[in-house]
Amino acid sequence: MNLLDTVVQDENTSSLDKDWWRGAVIYQIYPRSFQDSNNDGVGDLAGIIHRLPHVADLGVDAIWISPFFRSPMLDFGYDVSDYRDVDPMFGSLGDFDALVVRAHELGLKVLIDLVLSHTSHLHPWFQESRSSHDNAKADWYVWADPKPDGTPPNNWLSIFGGSAWAWDGERMQYYQHNFLTEQPDLNLHNELVQQELLDVVRYWLERGVDGFRLDTINFYFHDPKLRDNPALKPEERNDTIAPSVNPYNWQDHKYDKNQPENLEFLKRFRAVLDEFPAATAVGEVGDAQYGLEIQAAYTAGNERVHMCYDFAFLSAVQPTGTRVANVLRKFEDTIGDGWACWAFSNHDVARHPTRWNLGDDAKKLYAAMLLCMRGSVCLYQGEELGLTEAYVAYEDLQDPYGIRFWPKFKGRDGCRTPIPWVSDNRNGGFSDAKPWLPMAMEHLHRSVFEQEREENSTLNFYKAMIRFRGAHLALRKGSFEIVECRDDYLSFIREHDGTRVFCAFNLANMAQPMTLPEGDWREDKGAPFEPLTTDRGITLPPYHAYFGVDDKT
């Protein structure tokens, strides 16, 4: 059944706007940790349906759901064994269909996480591919003979540690895996693989989804000559993509990803999206050296993906005013007519209040800054509650990445613990059973129930700031110009159709003066900050923002 015939058709007019994604606020749901509906300790699709009113009440435009496909769950759904079915852990296809309908009723678009660069080793495609050198899917994965001494074909490394090549004794060849050994990489140089993946895209669009988050979008193709990656100079290494304990950071990943053939595939992908009304896609660019350049190339024009994000603000580097200004300036100089999607937290990195050591006032200020940047925005579940990175004891770890590099790198479990819905329950209302990851006790006092009742809570601040963004077209779609930046201060102007919005942020724990730029400015008191004087000389309190509007053309 084609759910385009059954999904609610009389949604608000924004659903007919093919440009709705430009400036949208997208809320990421990690389904294992959002809400458990059947008390097995793992969140599921029915649980998401139950909690969707909370997401809609935030005022966001869309949800992005991390993978729920059939999977052995060695990488928690990012190792897909069936692209066209829901893992029983999360429910059924019927549950997914009901989720789409309910989200649309609440005015929320639905994006799902597609993992097109690799599959699970248990996927039937890989099982057939490894069975011989001449079967129908023999060339569907990246296979290579060993060097004469039996070692891997080249020096490519895995993000999860060690060589990116695993030996298969059945086929007597190595296969490439950029992540776990149980996640073999697909060979997108094969046209049949491309077509099968595009058919998967069409399958989910026909079920009613509004678009996709594309996992590891720059990993789709490899160098067919299998050339060695060059080394990086020690001073050029950084831990933006992999932890510093991982020698993955020692290479310039020139040949194992970021290949030019990807541009043509993205055109084919976009053509499928354009068959459907207002479908969109956001790509994850995992690269420490060329992130902005890749974003620009992948989002240029109207033939590739709509938007991309890199790890500029997902790293541990402190986002001072100078740092933020430099990233945004470089982005503006590089991106051309492309579009970014900014995020401070997600399921792969430590929560940003912990990474950047932010107190409650600073959390609010940085949220305001994020929601005023030029681009779309992704918020990660629990970010609206001001959650910090949870401590997870070694014996409770689930993430193979953390288990491998413990204790210098503790993995991704600390940002994936369950959401606290109430505070008077040891599992925070997430489940009556023992959760798959422990509920962080320090999170209970930040529960949704508690913060909804507190006027000045982080949750209510996010709601107000998202409303403020939505009230100004300049903040969602306008141009961008830096006015002033220092480590402890940043100001810029957003402009659209003759209306300018001046945004100033005091990033310091002390008051400091601010001067308005030239213009007929009036303070917009709709922002969730205490109003200030309207004199030319303004003093910004600690961790405070000022928003001025000049709408005279």
Single out the residue in 468, 485, 516 at which a domain terminates.
468
Same domain, 462 and 486: no
Residue 176 lies in a domain: no
Instruction: Tell me the one-letter amino acid at 348.
Output: D
Note whether residue 430 is domain-resident.
Answer: yes
Residue 538 forms beta bridges with which residues? 514
Distances (CA, A) of 167 to 151, 175, 177: 9, 7, 11
| Co-location of 444 and 497 in the same domain | no
Can you give the pTM of this predicted structure? 0.95
**Is there a single domain that holds both residue 511 and residue 387?**
no
Residues of the chain with pLDDT under 50: 1-15
For residues 494 and 430, membership in a common domain is answered with no
Last residue of a domain, one of 447, 468, 489: 468
pLDDT at residue 239, rounded to an integer = 84
Are 244 and 279 part of one and the same domain? yes
What distances in angstroms separate CA 419 from CA 222, 335, 439, 441, 538, one per listed residue?
Answer: 38, 35, 8, 11, 39
How do strand 512-515 and strand 489-496 relate by DSSP bridges? unpaired
Phi, psi of 191 (to 5 degrees): -60, -35
Same structural domain for residues 274 and 377? yes
| Alpha carbon distance 125, 136 (integer Å) | 10
- The confidence score (pLDDT) of residue 288 equals 85
Q: Is residue 168 part of a domain?
A: no
Cα–Cα distance between 380 and 178 in angstroms, integer?
A: 25
CA distance 547 to 502: 6
Number of structural domains in the chain: 2
Q: Residue 266: exposed, middle, or buried by beta-carbon count in 10 A (0-12, 13-18, 19+)?
A: buried
User: Does one domain contain both 383 and 531?
Assistant: no
Same domain, 483 and 464: no
**What's the confidence (pLDDT) of residue 243?**
86
Indicate if 372 and 490 belong to the same structural domain.
no
Note whether residue 457 is domain-resident.
yes
What is the CATH classification number for the domain harbouring 533?
A: 2.60.40.1180
Q: What is the CATH number of the domain that holds 338?
A: 3.20.20.80
Query: Is 150 a member of any domain?
Result: no
pLDDT at 301: 93
Q: What is the pLDDT of residue 536?
A: 55
**Residue written as token pair 């009036």:** 522
406/376 same-domain check: yes
Cα(360)–Cα(355) distance, integer angstroms: 14
In a domain, 221, yes or no: yes
Residue 134 identity: D
Which of 451, 468, 485 terminates a domain? The answer is: 468
Domain that holds residue 430: 3-10+21-116+191-468
Same domain, 196 and 328: yes
E strand residue ranges, 100-255: 109-114, 143-144, 165-168, 173-176, 211-214
Residue 170 inside a domain? The answer is no
How confident is the model over 462-477, as pLDDT tens digits?
Answer: 999 999 999 999 999 9
Task: Report, as residue numbers or ranges, the catalytic residues.
Answer: 215, 275
Q: Within a domain: residue 183?
A: no
Residues 201 and 85 in one domain: yes
